[in-house]
Amino acid sequence: MTITDTTDAPEDAVGRADPTRPDSSYRGAQALLFAAAAVAIASTVLAILAGSDHAGAVPNGLRVAVVVAAVTLLPGAPIAVLLRLRQPALVGSVTVSISFATMLIIAQAEVVTGNLRPVTVQLYICAVSAALILWASRTLVPALPRPRPNRAAVVTRYVLLGAVAVAVVLFAHATKVLRPQASGALGVITHIGFSYLVALVIVAAVIAVALSRARLDPVVLGAAGLALIMFTTMYVSLADGVTSIPTAYTHRGLIDIIASLQGLPPPSDARFSWAGFFSAGAHMSGAGALSDLSPMLLWAPLFYGGVTMLPLYSIALSLTGRRRVAWIAVILYLSFNWYQQDYFAPQPTATMLYLTICALLLWQLRSAPLPSAPRSWRRWIVTVPRRTLGTVPGVGAGRTLAIEALMIVLIAAIVITHQLTPIVLIAALFLFSLTGTTRYRLLWLFAVALFVAWFSYGAVDYWKGHLAYVLGDVGQVSGAVQGGVSDRIGADPLYQKMQYLRLAASGALLVFAFAGWLTYRRRKTWLIGGLLCMVPFGLVLVQSYGGEVVIRCFVLASPFIAPYAADALVRTFAIIRRYTGRSAQPRHWSRTVAATAAILGIALILTATRGLNTSFEHTDEDQIRYGDALMRSVPQGSEIMVIGTAAGLVSARYFDDVRVATMESFECLDDLSGCVRKENPDFVFTTRQSSAQIYLQYGYSQSVVDQQLGMLVGSDEYRVVVETADLTILQNASTPPVVLK
């Protein structure tokens, strides 16, 4: 006896179509291949220009766009089409992930071998992609003529898209009038303007109307989702003109180090032990002759949020079996994503690959027959781990094996890119095997082998001589939780309340998800879906990750929590309608208005929680410009002391005997000038954000830094090189004056 979710048929026929019939996704596949071909041509031309030193004729922004498009579509687009997965979101997810993985693995191989040749390698990638595009185009089966769309549906689509465009214009105006430097303990929420509020109302209304229609429009929902991402994640960044997440500049610096050294540097930073992302960045920089990576840093949240919507929707559809709930899950995930882990970093890259693997496995589980489990727990424990999922109807043995090979490639890319994600991936794959819900029963062993091999070879600099430190966090659950929660609450009372709002938002999502999960006990995805929600939280047993492990747990669990929370939300609204006697008709305007209000409220909460740290995380363009100039201009052997954080000072000058030091203890805050005198650096670098951080997180007066630096200047030990409203650079009076270039 086998289990099949026949109730899914009206919602989605993935894996159930007759393979001999014309493929209904023909037009989408054709458009994807056309886009990939155009990108391959553009990338080839750009690589040739870069190799001949003529790329400067093309604007840097356009070069960045071509490079990012190539990394997103090549060679993943033709490979995804060849697999004929018949689910657009899954096709898109595989396209992006296999392209990412290809770049990560090839670039890491270039760097490890000390043979970084981005132009040549990019030309090879484009050539192979072109061959795959030709092959894939020959496998397409023309679709049956599509019936003419309903005129009312077309008009509605354009009206809703027009509303989204108006909202974007209003948002653009809102970014012009926002002053992030005015933010305080409550973050940016107290400084949002009328334009921003109206833009959010419009997008919330568009989402509510689109979700309430009898026939869902993925174009409208996708556009509204992208607008929601932009409004809630890029408000401060677009106002500043640069990304508001300082760590992104550290990653830019690590890429600069690899590109300058044409390989991995001597042991200096643990992140170089998982350098796949940074190696790929160095390759992209060289292949496009990019003079500035700032556009990538600025637009990363929108890019990562947009591509992550693809596996999110596929996962939600597999877990719930309902398109409407799947779209609500996507919107819900975006609306609770205050964790700020979608910036220019390895984490969102590895997360995308992880979600794609899970989306593929859940799609197979949903579409293929599964031997039923006995009701007796004793027999269940013996039988379930031994059962094997059937094949997806219409997907032969060759394509089933190709999907497994694809997942092995994605696993390898994750292993060389991020420290924590492979651990969660291994646990998830093991649970798929243990519950008998996959055909790839030994895939978790492949993942273990790849992880151990890389940890033993590629990450040797990380643990060599520090094994006690690496193992010291194992089993220290209370320490990991304290570092990830208690130690981040801060000292200011208002700031503490906003931190509690963050915790409450995540907690509410978990409660709703648990309630929703309980209603799916009859589905074959029920058990593994619940386990995928829980498995990331096992990271607290392994690592504290510098106090960020709790946040990373939620980042990796939320894509599986959101679908169940969305279902619980839908059921809650249904209960409210039943008890209030409201009509259940889908076009009832009270329902749409209520949904608009709910989406708007959640979006405003996200604006508050996401923008809480604006006062000390946002970055001014002058700070980046002067920081870059300082690193270019200081003499060899100089030491720069940073008060607070200055991620923009990370560069290849680290290996030109230029040292960047930070305060080593909190005692320095009581006698900052004394600490500077003791260290006696050549330069002192501090920003206004550092004063805000010292106040909000540690309770020191915001004027303490200015007073202490004033004492240094007043004693003639240091002179002012640069002083603006947001930045101060001092130079030791005993060193020759430096002109910043």
Per residue in 267-317, pLDDT (tens digit) is 878 899 999 999 999 999 999 999 899 999 999 999 999 999 999 999 999
Q: Which of 341, 245, 372, 253 is nearest to 297 (CA)?
A: 245
Domain annotation covers residue 590: no
Whether 56 is in a domain gets the answer yes
Residues 532 and 634 in one domain: no
Angle at 54 between CA 49 and CA 57, to 5 degrees: 105
What element of type H or E holds 371?
A: strand 370-371
**Can you tell me the distance from the alpha carbon of 365 to that of 216, in angstroms, rounded to the nearest whole number?**
25
- Do 522 and 632 lie in a common domain? no
Residue 628 lies in a domain: yes
Beta-strand relationship, 639-643 and 718-723: unpaired
The predicted pLDDT at position 13 comes to 36
Considering the domain architecture, whether residues 420 and 518 belong to the same structural domain is answered as: yes
Instruction: Report the alpha-carbon distance of residue 619 to residue 242 in Å, rounded.
Output: 7
| Amino acid at the residue 547 | G
Would you say residue 559 lies in a domain? yes
- Residue 93 resides in a domain: yes
Distances (CA, A) of 573 to 567, 568, 577: 10, 9, 6
Whether 315 maps to a domain, the answer reads yes
Determine the structural domain holding residue 728 and report its residue range.
Answer: 620-732
> Which tokens is 214 given?
């009898």
Answer yes or no: do 405 and 501 share one domain: yes
Number of domains in the chain: 2
Report whether 103 contacts 280 (CB < 8 A).
Answer: yes
Which parts of the chain have pLDDT scores under 50?
Answer: 1, 3-24, 584, 586
Choose the final residue of a domain: 499, 532, 565. Answer: 565
Residues 550 and 642 in one domain: no
Q: How many CB atoms lie within 10 A of CB 267?
A: 13
| H-run or E-run covering 215 | none
pLDDT of residue 473: 65
Q: Rounded distance, CA 255 to CA 390, Å? A: 44
Q: Of the residues 541, 565, 589, which one is the last residue of a structural domain?
A: 565
Q: Is residue 421 part of a domain?
A: yes
Q: In terms of domains, do 402 and 546 share one?
A: yes
Q: Is residue 724 one of the residues assigned to a domain?
A: yes
Judged by DSSP in three states, 559 sits in helix
CA-to-CA separations, 62 to 127, 234, 284, 463, in angstroms, rounded: 21, 20, 13, 41
Going by C-alpha positions, the residue among 458, 360, 480, 476 that lies closest to residue 412 is 458
Q: Are 625 and 536 within one domain?
A: no
pLDDT tens column, 477-510: 666 566 656 667 776 888 889 999 999 999 999 9
CATH number of the domain to which 636 belongs: 3.40.190
Instruction: Please indicate, yes or no, whether the overall pTM of this predicted structure exceeds 0.85.
Output: yes
Nearest to 724, CA basis, from 620, 640, 629: 620
- Choosing from 565, 587, 606, the residue where a domain stops is 565
512 and 638 part of one domain: no
The phi, psi pair for 184, rounded to 5°, reads -130, -140
**What residue has token string 């023909």?**
26
Cβ–Cβ under 8 Å, residues 436 and 385: yes
pLDDT reported for residue 159: 98
Pair 552, 631 in one domain? no
